Amino acid sequence: MSLIFAFSQYHRKLTRDNNSLVSHRCLLLHFIVLSAAPPKFGGDISDTLTLNAGASHVLELPFSANPMPKVTWTFNDSSLPDAKRFKSTTIIGMTSLTMAKVVLKDAGNYTVTLENENGQATFTVKLIVLGTLHSIS
């Protein structure tokens, strides 16, 4: 299935005719064709991330999909660990997970699922946190 968007635009064009300027009103038609596509991750994405305790990181995952997919991030098949330190953001073609001041208990699998009416894609990143057992504040 393809979606076709059409829009028009008028502009004026000046030409010279027998030593006088003539104004013409021109109509430009623009067509944009968007094909439906299931979500698909792109780029060179690593499936393992190693951070020191107390570090912050933004995990960015490029994707393509049409229409824009519903995006869901999970941690070890559950909700994200701490809403104050973990924030997901999605724009056209990119989803990201901001991780602030990670601690040892944040280590695990972070999975993002993209889903639209044409399909679904899932990607998991294993986070390894290096450091001592005390918590970073």
CATH number at residue 106: 2.60.40.10
**Whether residue 41 sits in one domain with residue 30:** no
**32 has which bridge partners?**
5
Tell me the mean pLDDT in the region 65-86.
95
Segments forming the whole domain that contains residue 23: 2-35
**Whether residue 44 sits in one domain with residue 108:** yes
- Is the torsion defined by CA of 62, 104, 82, 57 positive or negative? negative
Q: Is the pLDDT of residue 28 over 90?
A: no
**Whether residue 29 sits in one domain with residue 71:** no
What total number of domains does the chain contain? 2
- Domain assignment present for 119: yes
**Whether residue 8 sits in one domain with residue 46:** no
- Domain assignment present for 10: yes
**Whether residue 28 sits in one domain with residue 57:** no
Q: List the single range of 23-27, 94-98, 130-134 with lowest mean pLDDT.
A: 23-27
**Whether residue 80 sits in one domain with residue 120:** yes
- Band the pLDDT of 89: cuts 50, 70, 90: very high
- Domain assignment present for 137: no
Strand 48-52, strand 119-130: pairing: parallel
> What are the CA-CA distances from residue 134 to residues 24, 100, 102, 103, 104 (Å)?
75, 16, 12, 8, 8
- Band the pLDDT of 27: cuts 50, 70, 90: low
**Whether residue 110 sits in one domain with residue 53:** yes
**Whether residue 87 sits in one domain with residue 30:** no
pLDDT at 26: 64
- Band the pLDDT of 34: cuts 50, 70, 90: low
pLDDT at 2: 47
Q: Is the pLDDT of residue 126 over 70?
A: yes
**Whether residue 41 sits in one domain with residue 20:** no
- Domain assignment present for 44: yes
Tell me the mean pLDDT in the region 13-23.
64
**Whether residue 77 sits in one domain with residue 41:** yes
Of 128, 106, 122, nearest to 48 by C-alpha is 128
